[in-house]
Amino acid sequence: MSKNKIFNTLGGLVFSTDPNFRPEPEEPHIEELPADKQVLRIWLERGKGGKEATVVKGYAGPGEKLEELARLLKNKCAAGGNAKDGVIIIQGDHRDKVLKLLTEQGFKNVKKAGG
């Protein structure tokens, strides 16, 4: 096994002489803003071959809540998609339906953006 593989599997730290050393948690805690305080923007993006995707940007909260919201939107729109890093992507042009669903979920500052 090479040095780099060993270094990476141990998380980068091999040994510490500091008696008060406490390793940092692997996942930082992300504070969740209440739904009415969040600023969400709904975009339409076109990819290869003219395929369209509805993109919701600006979500601030933990990944579990983001996944839950994305699952709800994908089910209601009957489309596939993905969610990560505060961005929800839904296949197809569903901007109006997503706007309505987000306002029903309590998000007050939601707007269509980008053209």
pLDDT in tens, 41-93: 999 999 889 899 999 999 988 889 999 999 999 999 999 999 998 899 999 99
> Three-state SS across the chain?
CCHHHHHHHCCCCCCCCCCCCCCCCCCCCCCCCCHHHCEEEEEEEECHHHCEEEEEECCCCCHHHHHHHHHHHHHHHCCCEEEECCEEEEEECCHHHHHHHHHHCCCCEEEECCC
Asked whether residue 87 is assigned to any structural domain, the reply reads: yes
Asked whether residue 10 is assigned to any structural domain, the reply reads: no
Domain that holds residue 61: 32-112
The CATH number assigned to the domain holding 100 equals: 3.30.780.10
Asked whether residue 93 is assigned to any structural domain, the reply reads: yes
pLDDT in tens, 9-34: 556 656 667 788 777 766 666 677 88
Looking at the structure of the chain, the number of domains it has is 1
Asked whether residue 20 is assigned to any structural domain, the reply reads: no
Asked whether residue 21 is assigned to any structural domain, the reply reads: no
What average pLDDT is seen over the chain? 84
Asked whether residue 3 is assigned to any structural domain, the reply reads: no
Flag whether the pTM goes above 0.85: no
